[in-house]
Amino acid sequence: MTISRRDILKSLSITAVAGSVLRVIPLEAAEYAHRMVKAEKAAAETHAYSPKFFSAHAFKTLQSLCNTIIPADEDSKGAVEAGAPEFIDLLTSENKDYQLTLGGGLMWLDNTCVDRYEKPYLDCAPEQQKEILDLIAYRKSFKKDPSLGQGVEFFSFLRRLTADGFFTSEIGIDYLGYVGNTYLQEFPGCPPVPEP
Amino acid sequence: MQVKRTPKTYDVCIIGSGAAGGTAAKVLTEGGLSVALLEAGPPVIPDRDYKEHVWPYDLPHRGADIGGRARHELNDEFMAPNGAWEIDGEPYVSAPGSKFRWFRSRIVGGRTNHWGRIALRMAPVDFKVRSHDGMGDDWPIGYDDVAPYYDKVESYIGVFGTKENIPSAPDGIFLPPPKPRCTETIIKKSCDRLNILCIPSRLAILTKPLNGRPACHYCAQCGRGCKTASNFSSSQVMIPPAEKTGRLTMITGAMARELVVGKDGKVTAVSYIDKATREERRVNARAFIVAASACESARLLLNSRSTLFPDGLANSSGVVGRHLMDTVGSDAGGYFPQLERMPAHNHDGVGGMHMYLPWWKFDRKNDFLRGYHTEFGGGRGMPGVGDFDELCDQYEGYGASLKRECRKKYGTYIGFAGRGEMIPNENCYCEIDPGVVDQWGIPVLRFHWKWGDNELKMAKDMQEMYRAIVEAAGGVFIPSTQVDVAHPYGIADGGVIIHEVGTARMGNQPTTSALNGYCQAHDVKNLFVTDGACFVTNADKNPTLTIMALTWRACDYLLDQAKKGNLGA
């Protein structure tokens, strides 16, 4: 017998209402539903991703930047594994302002790298990539060199969206240590707080 | 032979299904009357519509919604459906120099699908402000008139809280409160040091099973809608018992356009647009309860012009649309380094604050009249889009150190929201815009807005108080991010706190008020307006509980009239 996710979710809400009589919190049902959602998503993601807005080249650059902004480290995977580039591509495909800031911003980055290093960003040596990012990752660069203004704006916005994409992923939520979104019979209150 | 069918005439027609309309439907149908209930939106189906327990990564947009439009708006993708600042095809206008925002919910249950569940009683003094400080007007009724109905509402819907004997915050009939979260224990300690009142909050969320509804399961997601109906919404708590009587006829997708008046000056019908067919239809009834939300109700009255009532229905006094009030809102926050060292733990709790700060300076002279309460929250909630914007902008850079910084600071912020009483002024009102209609052809509202000095002084006091509390707790104060010429001391634009009231106020004098103390129109005896429009003042108490109590009271009066054979008389 196959059970659909919808059936599970439905039974979950019914059992929860019945909980007033039975005093049963359907924790297992909730966890089972979450697992099924995950399995469905995994099945849908077996195909290679084709970007909705960005060109293949721009999307590769976006992936590289996301990976640099929030990389994998000893504690967790990074923004690319967390699906940040796909999330950003989806929002950008639906928003004209994002298309200008991010689509135009990626072109600005390539143009600037061609001016400085005679190569688009992805073809630059790691030291060159670091050099330009170390400039556009800080507002103070704009004060020193106003021609970097668009780059600073672009990077600032991309940093926000990369953080969104990472910290709203399963990887990012685990990394932060958020515990919750569950069914409790009593709220346990607060463990002792250290004095400041 | 053709039979001409006489259209059915209901005992009562209610317009709007939110806090007021839902309460009226329950009380009137249980009292034996036949009721037609008009709602401009669709029905809500919790199993289909609520995103309770969904993770951000379960949604392609992660909660940011299409094109990222929900990154910084209240109506984020997770929220219960059909509540929005802007509705396609249904505009409203701010007059030049005014900025007013209007949150509307087009769905069964109205804004009770979206509200914060904060259920505070008005205090005795709140009904008698003019007698107390000479400003504004007294209500024609007092606390003792409403108290029995606060009792009824609280007993039925379930409100948690504690008995405190604070004059500015009367006690009610309470379920036990949930234990405080870490953020709340920190602020409580700080307030104790400063002699500021900090007590368990009072929210319409069940901490024990009540009237067939199970207790809260502490997922903190009330705003998404609750599949177990453990929090209060009209659609899940008021409408079902009304339906059970068999005397309720619910008409959804019905945009009320005009109240139709007979030769005797009584309302005979409401004309509405059926949104599905775009056709005009009518519902006949012996009495009418307008409960569409303060501004929407004023709009309906003002759009109901006739030779008998050329300035709109129930408006011989000219007060309809006037005395528009919102709540004084000013926000601030703090970073608390001690929270960096907290171990990972479940911080969710109910969908709202477990503690709050009632108005505590009621016993002294202040720089301003009236008072405010403070809501606060923060800590290790479910991460969401936009949560790390400020941190990213502040820390700048990129790489593993940025990532670690975000983890270090996650859950270390507490935000404060001051919510104070506004004194009505002649610059704040709504009227029909002479040149604009919505997609249903119904003339729309134009808002005028200007805060008075008293409100600005109050916002200033809020900012100073929050700095003191944060610093006494060893935190770093973060002032309102919205302080500019248009927003002194971070005061929010009109309408933003979503507590609009006062647009058809009650009073003893038909020349200066639209309604009597039972929410009954002075000019039209079979017409009642029981939503926030009837308020005379807007105390620092979130209005929903009072709206329900006043509606219940008005409906008891109406039932009494019906028993005497006076329904519609």
The pLDDT of A23-45, averaged and rounded, is 50
* The predicted structure's pLDDT at residue A7: 42
**Which residues, 6 or more positions from B306, have their beta carbon under 8 angstroms from its beta carbon?**
B261, B313
Residues from chain B that touch A103, judged by Cβ atoms under 8 A, are none
**Shortest distance, CA A117 to any CA of chain B (angstroms):** 22
Q: How many CB atoms lie within 10 A of CB B337?
A: 14
Helix (H) or strand (E) holding B15: strand B9-15
Confidence of residue B481 (pLDDT cuts 50, 70, 90): confident
Residues from chain B that touch A178, judged by Cβ atoms under 8 A, are 344, 380-383, 410
CB contact under 8 A, A164 and B64: yes
pLDDT single digits (tens) B268-305:
999 999 999 999 999 999 999 999 999 999 999 999 99
B472: nearest CA partner in chain A: A196
The pLDDT of B313-318, averaged and rounded, is 98
**Which residues, 6 or more positions from B302, have their beta carbon under 8 angstroms from its beta carbon?**
B311, B312, B315, B320, B321, B431, B432
b vs e for B131-156, b when ≥16 Cβ sit within 10 Å of the residue's Cβ? eeeeebbbbbbebebbbebbebbbeb
**Shortest distance, CA A91 to any CA of chain B (angstroms):** 4
Q: Which of A20, A73, A137 is opposite residue B403, by nearest beta carbon?
A: A73
Query: What is the domain range of residue B241?
Result: 8-44+80-117+120-155+232-318+503-569
pLDDT single digits (tens) A106-119:
999 999 999 999 99
Instruction: Identify whether the C-beta of residue B543 lies closer than 8 Å to the C-beta of residue B530.
Output: no
* The predicted structure's pLDDT at residue A3: 40
The pLDDT of B35-52, averaged and rounded, is 96
Distance of CA B544 to the CA centre of its chain: 5
CB contact under 8 A, B338 and A98: no
CB contact under 8 A, B383 and A167: yes
B391: nearest CA partner in chain A: A160
CB contact under 8 A, A178 and B397: no
Confidence of residue B566 (pLDDT cuts 50, 70, 90): confident
CB contact under 8 A, A91 and B346: no
Q: Which of A19, A188, A191 is opposite residue B214, by nearest beta carbon?
A: A19
B474: nearest CA partner in chain A: A196
* The predicted structure's pLDDT at residue B74: 56
Of B292, B284, B282, nearest to B11 by C-alpha is B284
B347, two tokens = 């911080």
Distance of CA A16 to the CA centre of its chain: 32
Please provide the DSSP assignment of A20-61 as one string. HHH----HHHHHHHHHHHHHHHHHHT-SPP--SSS-HHHHHH
Confidence of residue A23 (pLDDT cuts 50, 70, 90): very low
pLDDT(A121) > 80: yes
pLDDT single digits (tens) B58-80:
999 999 999 999 887 655 789 99
Residue extents of the structural domains in chain A: 5-44, 56-176
Say if pTM beats, i.e. exceeds, 0.95: no
Residues from chain B that touch A161, judged by Cβ atoms under 8 A, are 68
**Shortest distance, CA B58 to any CA of chain A (angstroms):** 7
Interface of B with A in 364-383 (CB under 8 A): 380-383
Residues from chain B that touch A193, judged by Cβ atoms under 8 A, are 182, 185-186, 338-339, 342
Residue B73 located in a structural domain? no
Residues from chain B that touch A165, judged by Cβ atoms under 8 A, are 62
B88, two tokens = 């396609």
Residues from chain A that touch B380, judged by Cβ atoms under 8 A, are 177-180
* The predicted structure's pLDDT at residue A9: 39
Tell whether B48 is within 8 A of chain A (Cβ).
no
The pLDDT of B335-354, averaged and rounded, is 96
pLDDT(A8) > 50: no
CB contact under 8 A, B402 and A73: no
CB contact under 8 A, A179 and B337: no
ipTM: 0.92
> How many contacts (CB atoms, under 8 Å) link A and B?
208
**Shortest distance, CA B375 to any CA of chain A (angstroms):** 19
3-state secondary structure of A125: coil
CB contact under 8 A, B398 and A159: yes
Tell whether B214 is within 8 A of chain A (Cβ).
yes
Contacts within 8 Å (CB) and 24+ apart, B280-285: B281/B254, B282/B7, B283/B10, B283/B13, B283/B36, B283/B38, B283/B251, B284/B7, B284/B8, B284/B9, B284/B10, B284/B13, B285/B9, B285/B10, B285/B11, B285/B12, B285/B13, B285/B36, B285/B568
The pLDDT of B19-34, averaged and rounded, is 98
Please provide the DSSP assignment of B44-92 as one string. --HHHH--TT--GGGSTTTTS-GGGTTTTSSS-TTSPTTEES--TT---
- From residue B59, alpha-carbon distances to A67, B331, B502 in Å are 22, 30, 40
Q: 3-state SS of B122-184?
A: CCHHHHCHHHHHCCCCCCCCCHHHHHHHHHHHHHHHCCECCCCCECCECCCCCECCCCCCHHH
CB contact under 8 A, B46 and A190: no
CA distance B251 to B272: 10
* The predicted structure's pLDDT at residue B153: 98
CB contact under 8 A, B181 and A133: no
* The predicted structure's pLDDT at residue B297: 98
CA dihedral B51, B55, B58, B62 (to 10 degrees): 90
Residues from chain B that touch A151, judged by Cβ atoms under 8 A, are none
Residues from chain B that touch A173, judged by Cβ atoms under 8 A, are 55-57, 382-383
A164-178, B5-19, B165-179: which range is least confident on average? B5-19
* The predicted structure's pLDDT at residue A11: 39
Residue B524 located in a structural domain? yes
The pLDDT of A45-52, averaged and rounded, is 80
- From residue B103, alpha-carbon distances to A79, B51, B92, B475 in Å are 35, 20, 11, 34
Q: Which of B57, B337, B403 is opposite residue A196, by nearest beta carbon?
A: B337
For tokens 């429009």, the residue is B533
**Which residues, 6 or more positions from A78, have their beta carbon under 8 angstroms from its beta carbon?**
A66, A67, A70, A71, A72, A166, B403
Tell me what percent of the residues of chain B surpass a pLDDT of 90.
95
* The predicted structure's pLDDT at residue B73: 66
Q: How many CB atoms lie within 10 A of CB A115?
A: 9
3-state secondary structure of B538: strand
- From residue B177, alpha-carbon distances to A186, A190, B201, B227 in Å are 11, 14, 8, 21
Helix (H) or strand (E) holding B443: strand B443-448
Instruction: Identify whether the C-beta of residue B338 lies closer than 8 Å to the C-beta of residue A196.
Output: yes
The pLDDT of B319-339, averaged and rounded, is 97
Residues from chain A that touch B399, judged by Cβ atoms under 8 A, are 68-71
CA distance A69 to B402: 8
How many structural domains is chain B composed of?
Answer: 1
A24-38, B83-97, B126-140: which range is least confident on average? A24-38
Residues from chain A that touch B229, judged by Cβ atoms under 8 A, are 17
Residue B168 located in a structural domain? no
Which CATH number belongs to the domain containing residue B149 in this structure?
Answer: 3.50.50.60
* The predicted structure's pLDDT at residue A194: 78
Please provide the DSSP assignment of B312-369 as one string. -TT-TTS-TT-S-B--EEEEEEEE-GGGGGPPS-B--BSSS-SEEB----TTS--SSS
- Alpha helices (H) in B351-427, listed in sequence order: 389-395, 400-409
* The predicted structure's pLDDT at residue A193: 79
Task: Round the average pLDDT of chain B to a whole number and report it.
Answer: 96
Tell whether B63 is within 8 A of chain A (Cβ).
yes
Distance of CA B239 to the CA centre of its chain: 18
Instruction: Identify whether the C-beta of residue B526 lies closer than 8 Å to the C-beta of residue B519.
Output: no
Task: Round the average pLDDT of chain A to a whole number and report it.
Answer: 84
Q: Which of A168, A180, A183 is opposite residue B57, by nearest beta carbon?
A: A168
**Shortest distance, CA A182 to any CA of chain B (angstroms):** 6
3-state secondary structure of B496: coil
pLDDT single digits (tens) B100-135:
999 999 999 999 999 999 999 999 999 999 999 999
Residue B138 located in a structural domain? yes
